[in-house]
């Protein structure tokens, strides 16, 4: 075969139509392009190029960031059956079909965080490798710009600019796994919380699942993250009381029975109504089940004493502040219909 030998004009025209520029070797074969013909087109200086094993870019110029992302996904995704989508539109425009789903593959790590809008991660063109998350038993190896990250349970991907991307907490864990600089880790975790991308508890769960909490620089960063998350949640709580016209509570107090045991700490307490509010900001050194059991025991004890406990999470305060204010207001209004509570001593915490 010579350089000028035509290669199935109809299929090649179809593949290149509409900006569709990436295909797998298997997809080419299904359109009548042999392996030998593909190798000929991908020779140095040829019209095509092989970006990754079995992934072909149908133009000779440097790949764009979008093309690199889709190439990594094509390389890692489980092959679609014959008759499926044969190429990837790099930037779907109005009226074009959406980007195809990639079976058992999604972008994770720093590339995913950049797609989620993080400023602490490099822009896509600056990344030498792109992490892609796949099931643990997939037979793949890292190569070229694709770094394989394995997991026993693939999360539900989020679509960002037509690309399946791991949720922020999972992408953070995969990014942190590759970092040894404490400042870089702290910067990523801080941006995750301050930027409202996710709650500290979700990040901590993923870091714990990835067994990264044994690394001192990660533990230090997580301590800062938990403190940051709690401070933000407390600010939202103060704003909820102020902006929604709730009575001013006493803040950050301990309750005790007169001459008796300690009943627990509370973030806010309305003594005249016997209504308590507790923020759920669970620490990373305790198992969720054990800590939830402790919360439940305290709540049951307080309610037996006639104290209503409102339990809120930082996420609820972030996403539905007005609804949380209504919950507290309802509890306060219902106070007059309850039996008088037991007398408790309120102390500053």
Q: Are residues 158 and 81 in the same domain?
A: yes
| Integer Cα distance of 91 and 166 in angstroms | 20
Per the structure, the complete domain to which residue 266 belongs is given by 240-348
122 CB-side CA count, 13 A:
10
Helices (H) and strands (E) in the chain, counts: 12, 14
Residue 209 in any domain: the answer is: no
Q: Is the Cβ–Cβ distance between 230 and 201 less than 8 Å?
A: no
User: Is residue 14 located within the same domain as residue 123?
Assistant: yes
In a shared domain, residues 172 and 256: no
Residue 328 DSSP symbol:
H
Q: Are 128 and 245 in a shared domain? A: no
| pTM listed for this prediction | 0.71
Q: What is the dihedral of CA 197, 200, 204, 206, to 10 degrees?
A: -20
Looking at the fold, whether 159 and 282 belong to one and the same domain comes out as: no
Residues 6+ apart with CB under 8 A from 138: 76, 78, 104, 148, 150
Number of domains forming the structure of the chain = 2
List the pLDDT tens digit at each of the 349 positions of the chain: 444 444 444 445 555 544 558 888 888 888 888 899 989 899 998 999 999 999 999 998 899 999 999 999 999 998 754 443 333 333 333 443 444 568 899 999 999 999 999 999 999 999 999 999 999 999 899 999 999 999 999 999 999 988 999 999 999 999 999 999 989 999 999 999 888 898 888 888 899 999 999 899 999 888 888 888 888 889 999 999 999 999 999 999 999 998 878 888 999 999 999 999 998 766 444 445 666 677 778 888 898 999 999 988 888 888 899 999 999 999 999 988 888 888 899 998 8
Residue whose structure tokens are 């975790």: 189
275 & 142 share domain: no
Q: Which of 178, 213, 232 lies at the terminal end of a domain, its last residue?
A: 178
Query: Is residue 234 a part of any domain in this protein?
Result: no
Residue 343 lies in a domain: yes
Which residue, among 117, 129, 123, has the nearest Cα to 191 in the 3D structure? Answer: 117
CATH number at residue 318: 3.40.960
Asked if residue 291 is part of any domain, the answer here is yes
């Amino acid at each position: 075969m010579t350089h000028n030998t035509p290669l199935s004009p109809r299929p090649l025209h179809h593949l290149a139509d509409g900006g569709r520029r990436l295909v797998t070797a298997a997809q080419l074969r299904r359109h009548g392009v042999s392996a030998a013909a593909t190798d000929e087109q991908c020779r140095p200086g040829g019209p095509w190029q092989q970006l990754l094993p079995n992934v072909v870019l149908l133009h000779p110029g440097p790949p764009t960031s979008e093309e690199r992302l889709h190439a990594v996904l094509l390389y890692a995704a489980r092959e679609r059956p014959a008759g499926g989508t044969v190429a990837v539109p790099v930037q779907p425009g109005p009226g074009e079909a959406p980007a195809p789903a990639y079976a058992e593959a999604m972008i994770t790590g720093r590339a995913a965080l950049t797609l989620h809008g993080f400023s602490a991660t490099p822009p896509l063109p600056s990344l030498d490798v792109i992490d892609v998350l796949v099931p643990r038993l997939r037979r793949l190896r890292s190569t070229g710009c694709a770094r394989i990250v394995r997991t026993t349970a693939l999360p539900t991907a989020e679509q960002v600019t037509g690309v399946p991307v791991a949720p922020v907490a999972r992408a953070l864990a995969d990014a942190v796994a590759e970092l040894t600089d404490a400042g870089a880790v702290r910067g990523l975790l801080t941006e995750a919380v301050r930027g409202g991308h996710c709650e500290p508890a979700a990040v901590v769960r993923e870091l714990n699942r990835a067994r990264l909490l044994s690394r001192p620089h990660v533990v230090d960063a997580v301590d800062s993250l938990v403190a940051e998350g709690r401070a933000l949640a407390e600010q939202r709580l103060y704003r909820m009381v102020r902006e929604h016209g709730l009575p001013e509570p006493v803040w950050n107090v301990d309750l005790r029975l007169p001459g008796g045991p300690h009943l627990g700490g509370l973030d806010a307490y309305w003594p005249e109504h016997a209504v308590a509010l507790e923020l759920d900001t669970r620490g990373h050194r305790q198992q969720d089940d054990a800590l939830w059991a402790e919360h439940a025991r305290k709540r049951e004890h307080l309610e037996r004493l006639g104290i209503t406990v409102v339990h809120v999470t930082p996420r609820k305060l972030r996403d539905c502040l007005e609804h949380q204010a209504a919950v507290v207001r309802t509890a306060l209004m219902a106070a007059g219909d309850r039996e008088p509570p037991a007398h408790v001593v309120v102390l500053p915490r």
